[in-house]
Amino acid sequence: MKISAVRPFPVWVGTRNQLLVKVETDSGLFGWGESGLSGREKAVAGAVEHYARFLVGRDPMNAGALWQEMYRSQYFEGGRVLTAAISAIDIALYDIKGKALGVPVHQLLGGRQRDRVPAFATVTAEPGPRMVADAEKLMAEGWTAIRLFAAGQGASAVFEPRESIAATVPWIVKVREAVGHAAILGVEYHHRLSVAEAASFCQKLPAGTLDFIEEPIRDETPEAYEALRRMTDVPFAIGEEFSSKWQFLPYIERGITQFARLDVCNVGGFTEAMKVAGLAEAHYVDLMPHNPLGPICTAASVHLGAAVPNFAWLECRSSPVEKAGFDAREVFPVQVRLDGAAYVVPDAPGLGVEVNEKALTEPLRFWEPPHLRRRDGSYTNW
């Protein structure tokens, strides 16, 4: 069996762009993967086309060797664009291998360690009464792991960190009071704060209010996170932007992060994700995978979550309080199944996802993330 084609599909599905990749073989078997570099899908599609030039004619069963060849095949190895392309191709290769052997992907990763992959839900309401009500609704329906959004992450083009902190703190306290300590509560700051701002935010909250804070500052400098760690005892959830085990390395080895927000569609697919999982396990760090994309990313994350011992929760964007519109049944008629607050581990060969290729008709839209400014006119992070 040889690879006969590697085809990127930068398309609009449901409510967002997706970059799907189909790897075809001369045996008739094919696999699907997905890239996670949202907003820059065209760049990743170009990288996929480069890799396709030497992948055609190769054995799709040799995913590990092909990963190494893709990563090492240029002088400028690594980086988010290239590893997002490698991720999609690698996931598709595992889909092919599972189908060829008649086993689900988690069997290729060492076998099932759990029957259900627990998920966390996101309350997208701005801090206020609805945030509290949505958290209570989730708890009532069995969702005990809940992520909140800080103030100012809506449609406004202005983001002022100190204003966001002041508006967010009292309502997080109210959510904790409403749901009690049986709930796991986290807050997402989307790397919009400085070290001092993040420290002030955490210090304004009563001890025990948060179980984690996600991406409070940018991740280029591990030493900055180490400084923040000295100023707060709130666990960190970091890593959704990391594109390799090397990026994860200082955060795990130095005890900076307590949850690894690995994205299987960015980090390098299953081949690299399993290495990060092993590194995290050796340091007693649980995975909390980033999963904001589509059904292929969800399926890949569920297989990963089924096969590793160190796992917390998988991000879910289809909870009772958030219908993100990513399931798109006309495009993905067969998907992994969400049962309450957990995904059921599939037993079908490969990923267990089917794609209606004829429905991939709406071209990619050049969606651009918000370019946020402070009130003084300077740019800040989205």
Contacts of 53 (CB under 8 A, 6+ apart): none
Sole residue written with tokens 């998920």? 119
CATH code at 3-104: 3.30.390.10
Q: Which residues are catalytic?
A: 190, 290
Q: Residue 51 — φ and ψ, nearest 5°? A: -65, -35
Second CATH level (architecture) for the domain 107-347: Alpha-Beta Barrel (3.20)
Round the CA-based radius of gyration of the chain to a whole number and report it.
Answer: 20
Q: Residues 233, 215: contact at Cβ < 8 Å?
A: no
Question: What are 35's two structure tokens?
Answer: 């890239």
pTM here? 0.97
What does the pLDDT read at residue 369?
Answer: 85
What does the pLDDT read at residue 107?
Answer: 98
Q: Residue 375 — φ and ψ, nearest 5°? A: -70, -20
CA dihedral (147, 152, 158, 159) positive or negative = negative
As a whole number of angstroms, the distance between CA 300 and CA 151 comes to 31
What does the pLDDT read at residue 324?
Answer: 64
How many of the other CB atoms lie within 10 Å of CB of 37? 23
Question: What are 271's two structure tokens?
Answer: 């081949």
Contacts of 51 (CB under 8 A, 6+ apart): 6, 70, 73, 85, 86, 89
As a whole number of angstroms, the distance between CA 200 and CA 231 comes to 9
**Which mean pLDDT values do the consecutive 10-residue runs of the chain (382 residues) have?**
98 91 98 95 97 98 98 93 98 98 98 98 96 98 97 85 97 98 97 97 98 97 98 98 97 98 98 98 98 95 98 96 79 96 98 96 87 94 88
Q: Which helix (H) or strand (E) holds 231?
A: helix 222-231
Q: Residue 372 — φ and ψ, nearest 5°? A: -80, 145
**Sequence spans of domains, the chain:** 3-104, 107-347
As a whole number of angstroms, the distance between CA 214 and CA 217 comes to 9
